[in-house]
Structure 1
């Protein structure tokens, strides 16, 4: 069975992107937020072009959802690319201080340049950029130490741009998620769907769940460090070893969910997204 390719570029994202590009001129530093489970798939190819020479802080959110060993491997890999990756768990407020500090440091450099030109200092203007549902709003609320922007574990909650003031030193632009207008890399598109980083209307749950099962099996076989034990067997008492992703889904539906394949698919996706299957890094640093 072939279903159409995964594509999602709703009107509010197209509109927000236009507004964002006009606001970017006012920004000093960009906080680029990615999903730590899939740091490469949540990289927007246009971001370097949009940012130009502005300061950028790379934030890998949801660090609690991947094994510590994989965090270290990603840190090392980004260093080889000349980048520093800062890990956060915005949901529980971990790693936030380092982000605030990095934004402030960028502001200090900006104000030094203003001072050198005989201008008065002003608050640093930062923007939080990234795909839908990677945790931007949760990060902003943590930086503000109060809940000012709506945050939910689904794509497309933030729809408007707005400035919020964090302190006398930092002003923050909260922007809706940005997405490439065309998802050319379908392997990445499936990972975005698995991690709930694009809208649900874009994909078929059963196909996405089958892909997740195959990914988990592949990690167990090749990179056990990227995964906690045998999560599917532990959770559902059915070992995936003998099955393809699709046949596992059907076998599990028959065994536990009255043959309701759709319900089974949703259950597995939900368990993965909530961390019930343990910490799983769906992407590995390139060799």
Structure 2
């Protein structure tokens, strides 16, 4: 499979601006895609934020089985990271996240009071890969449509401060991605989940990779149920060709897009592409 790489100019610029703004930030909310919490973790975030309080937000909780929710929470908590599950589209998990954000920033005002200064709003930043649902989450946190959102990588291109309340100011940052994607298995998962620009990959290759990955995870019954073609004994490429022959007059590009859209929209069901390393 060809190498997946994507680092458009607006992301490089956004990363530079983000690093400048981080010194003014009290709390970091790092948003992950629940289907791929490991692949959607930016490898340099820890280095960027240093000792600042960090809340991990596993968004799109509705797209994975409920049994996995506590498994992921436990996995990250064992690493000493505070974790919150959310569904930005439906507004689930927002109140606990707001409270945690405010609490994480309390130390700032305690220090200000000790110096005889007035309290100020806690400054939080929302960061993560493109299209993991950051903007939709911010709109839920604010309680109105304060920033543009949509299921497409690269919608947010400018950093923007948004006031949530007298207690919290939020910095909406464009999706950031490493200049080079060293882990190509993770890069493929990002492409499958639409968490990277479409210019970075070939649709047919990624759709075939989705079939192969679900086969590895032994969650292939959906292919028989949804498309009436069992996947057993077929590679991803062969399955794509077979499906294209039966449904779309050999048009593999159209078939690939259909497969990926069905997965991305949850029409295949709650299908995670990753499990915690210690999953039982």
What TM-score, normalized to structure 1? 0.95
Q: Deviations over 1:73-112 (max 9, x none)?
A: 1112112212232110001111111111111101222211
CA distance in 1, matches of 2:271, 2:174: 27
Task: Give secondary structure in 2 for the equivalent of 1:279.
Answer: coil
Cα distance, 1:151 vs structure 2: 0.3
Map of 1:224 onto structure 2: none
Map of 2:258 onto structure 1: 267
Tell me if structure 1 keeps the 8 A contact 2:54–2:82.
no
Task: Give secondary structure in 2 for the equivalent of 1:178.
Answer: coil
CA distance in 2, matches of 1:25, 1:83: 21
CA distance in 1, matches of 2:105, 2:83: 19
Name stretches of at least 5 consecutive residues in structure 1 with no aligned partner: 221-226
Task: Give secondary structure in 2 for the equivalent of 1:92.
Answer: coil
CA distance in 2, matches of 1:109, 1:233: 55
Q: State whether structure 2 residue 274 is matched by structure 1 residue 283.
A: yes
Map of 1:223 onto structure 2: none
Cα distance, 1:212 vs structure 2: 0.5
Map of 2:233 onto structure 1: 242
Task: Give secondary structure in 2 for the equivalent of 1:270.
Answer: helix
Task: Give secondary structure in 2 for the equivalent of 1:258.
Answer: coil
* CA RMSD, 1 decimal: 1.1
2:198 counterpart (178, 197, 200): 200
CA distance in 1, matches of 2:235, 2:17: 45
CA distance in 1, matches of 2:5, 2:109: 42
CA distance in 2, matches of 1:191, 1:182: 15
Map of 1:162 onto structure 2: 160
Map of 1:172 onto structure 2: 170
Task: Give secondary structure in 1 for the equivalent of 2:170.
Answer: strand
CA distance in 2, matches of 1:49, 1:118: 32
Map of 2:93 onto structure 1: 95
Name stretches of at least 5 consecutive residues in structure 2 with no aligned partner: none
CA distance in 2, matches of 1:75, 1:173: 25
Map of 1:49 onto structure 2: 47
Task: Give secondary structure in 2 for the equivalent of 1:85.
Answer: strand
Structure 1 stretches of 4+ with a deviation exceeding 3 A read none
Q: State whether structure 2 residue 248 is matched by structure 1 residue 257.
A: yes
Q: State whether structure 2 residue 110 is matched by structure 1 residue 112.
A: yes
Q: Deviations over 1:211-260 (max 9, x none)?
A: 1001111112xxxxxx5x72111110111112111101101111111110
Q: State whether structure 2 residue 141 is matched by structure 1 residue 143.
A: yes
Cα distance, 1:11 vs structure 2: 0.1
* Length, aligned pairs only: 278
Tell me if structure 1 keeps the 8 A contact 2:28–2:125.
yes
Cα distance, 1:22 vs structure 2: 0.5
1:231 counterpart (222, 225, 240): 222
CA distance in 2, matches of 1:152, 1:248: 30
1:65 counterpart (36, 51, 63): 63
